[in-house]
């Protein structure tokens, strides 16, 4: 895996935003860190210590741009320590990102910042590059989700009246059917507005979908990346939608030519989530890959542990 190239691809999705230049600067620091590492291999060991100082700059730059995106505030007058405290206090980062954040801060940034006598080895320099790159890549996913959410929220305000009118007897449907209706309309809007994109980031897709659902039905509450304990493993559910006393597990999959095969796997995945969480309603959603595909909705009931699990699939 070329992690730095993956990061570059994600950063390109921010072109035209206030974050783009700052994110490119973070990429540049990681690139320089990799060059220092190569110099350490070829020439002198002190280049490995320079690697850490560059990855620290990448770490701080990534946090500043995350603050700009997630807190919707200018970070230019904030010290890195202030931003770190704010991000943790306000729970701006999801669990997976927070783990990487704390790991890099404790293992590399704090040590090198507070002890000028430290010198780092090739193994430590390599770990620092991998750690900050992984943190930045995962952080970009979260930023992409927020960026897509805000962009969709602004777009949908221009046409919400027409969409609501097209929902017909929406208010007479039960919550499960309402969710299916919303997903079908979201798929149609992607096709109609040319919102489909090959290789779309799952987090970007989730942000768009969340904005669409909440705009059309403000009574729905929505959680993303909800942890569920399954035996000794801890899994993350993409979304849980709730309205009144009913909760629905929603598993989101990226558009694919293998939608039928992927949906079968995803149904088993949702059934596992339902059995572990106590929720009995689930939906697998795979948006269309191109405009020519027709939207299909199927329903099935799975009995397990004396409970009936109702799982629907919305796909093309």
pLDDT digits (tens, 9 = 90+) for 181-229: 999 999 988 877 665 665 678 899 999 999 999 999 999 999 999 989 8
What whole-number percentage of the chain has pLDDT above 70?
Answer: 95
- What does the pLDDT average to over 27-31? 97
Q: Is the pLDDT of residue 8 over 70?
A: yes
DSSP assignment of 124-176: HHHHHHHHHHHHHHHHHHHHHHHHHHHHHHHHHTTTHHHHHHHT-SGGGS-HH
pLDDT value, residue 197: 62
Mean pLDDT of the chain: 89
- From CA 316, how far away is CA 38, in angstroms rounded? 48
CA–CA distances in Å: residue 94 to residues 60, 70, 135, 277: 18, 11, 12, 20
- Token pair 């990534």 is found at 62
Which pLDDT value is given to residue 194? Answer: 60
> For the chain, what is the largest distance between any 2 Cα atoms, rounded to a whole number of angstroms?
73
Answer whether 274's CB lies under 8 Å from 288's CB.
no
Q: Average pLDDT of 299-305?
A: 89
Q: How far apart are CA 88 and CA 70, in angstroms?
A: 12
DSSP, collapsed to helix, strand or coil, labels residue 233 as strand
Q: What is the pLDDT of residue 64?
A: 94
* CA distances in angstroms from 238 to 107, 115, 224, 248, 252, listed in the order given: 30, 41, 5, 11, 6
pLDDT at 117 over 70: no
- DSSP 8-state code for residue 78: S
Return the structure tokens found at 221.
């509450």
Contacts 24+ apart (CB under 8 A), 151-157: 151/208, 151/211, 152/207, 152/208, 152/211, 152/212, 153/211, 153/215, 156/211, 156/212, 156/215, 156/216, 157/215
Give the pLDDT of residue 305: 78
Question: What pLDDT is attached to residue 292?
Answer: 79
Give long-range contacts, CB 8 A cutoff, 24+ apart: 300-304: 300/267, 302/271, 304/271, 304/275
**Complete DSSP assignment for 237-299:** EEEEEEETTEEEEEEE----TTHHHHHHHHHHHHHHHHHHH---EEEEE---SSTTPPPEEEE
Please tell me the distance from the alpha carbon of residue 283 to that of residue 299, in angstroms, as a whole number.
Answer: 9
Predicted confidence at residue 76, as pLDDT, reads: 87
Tens-place pLDDT, residues 39-84: 999 999 999 999 999 999 999 999 999 999 999 899 988 888 898 8
Record the pTM: 0.87
Q: Which of 98-107, 169-178, 180-189 has the lowest mean pLDDT?
A: 98-107
Which range is least confidently modeled, 9-23, 39-53, 245-259? 245-259
pLDDT of residue 251: 96
Q: Are 154 and 73 in contact (CB under 8 A)?
A: no
In Å, how far from its chain's centre is CA 198?
17
- Bridge partners of 18, per DSSP, are none
pLDDT of residue 87: 85
The C-alpha atoms of residue 20 and residue 143 are separated, in whole angstroms, by 12
**pLDDT on residue 255:** 81
Q: What share of the chain is helix, strand, coil (3-state, %, to 5)?
A: 60, 15, 25
pLDDT-derived band at 113 (thresholds 50, 70, 90) equals low
Q: Of the candidates 282, 312, 314, 310, which has an alpha carbon nearest to the alpha carbon of residue 296?
A: 314
DSSP run (H or E) holding 226: strand 221-230
For 303, phi and psi rounded to 5 degrees?
-100, 125
Other Cβ atoms less than 10 A from the Cβ of 163: the count is 17
């Amino acid at each position: 895996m070329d992690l730095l190239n993956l990061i570059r691809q994600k950063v390109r999705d921010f072109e035209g935003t206030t974050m783009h230049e700052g994110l490119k600067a973070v990429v540049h620091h990681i690139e320089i860190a990799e060059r220092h590492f190569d110099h350490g291999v070829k020439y002198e060991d002190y280049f490995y210590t320079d690697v850490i100082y560059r990855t620290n700059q990448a770490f701080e730059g990534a946090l500043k741009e995350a603050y700009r995106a997630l807190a919707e505030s200018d970070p230019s007058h904030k010290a890195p320590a202030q931003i770190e405290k704010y991000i943790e206090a306000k729970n701006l980062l999801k669990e997976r990102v927070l783990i990487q954040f704390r790991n890099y801060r404790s293992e590399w940034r704090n040590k090198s910042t507070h002890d000028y006598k430290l010198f780092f080895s090739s193994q430590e320099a390599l770990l620092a590059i991998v750690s900050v790159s992984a943190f930045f890549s995962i952080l970009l996913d979260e930023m992409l989700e927020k960026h897509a959410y805000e962009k969709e929220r602004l777009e949908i305000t221009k046409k919400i009246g027409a969409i609501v009118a097209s929902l017909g007897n929406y208010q007479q449907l039960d919550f499960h059917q309402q969710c299916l209706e919303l997903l079908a309309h979201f798929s149609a809007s992607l096709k109609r507005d040319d919102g489909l994109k090959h290789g779309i980031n799952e987090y970007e897709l989730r942000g768009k979908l969340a904005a669409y659902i909440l705009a059309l039905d403000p009574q729905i509450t929505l959680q993303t990346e909800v942890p569920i304990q399954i035996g000794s493993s801890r899994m993350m559910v993409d979304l849980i939608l709730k309205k009144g006393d009913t909760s629905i597990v929603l598993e989101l999959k990226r558009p694919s030519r293998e939608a039928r095969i992927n949906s079968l796997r995803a149904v088993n995945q949702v059934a596992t989530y339902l059995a572990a969480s106590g929720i009995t309603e689930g939906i697998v959603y795979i948006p269309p890959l191109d405009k020519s595909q027709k939207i299909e909705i199927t329903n099935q009931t799975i009995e397990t542990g004396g409970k009936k699990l109702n799982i629907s699939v919305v796909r093309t």
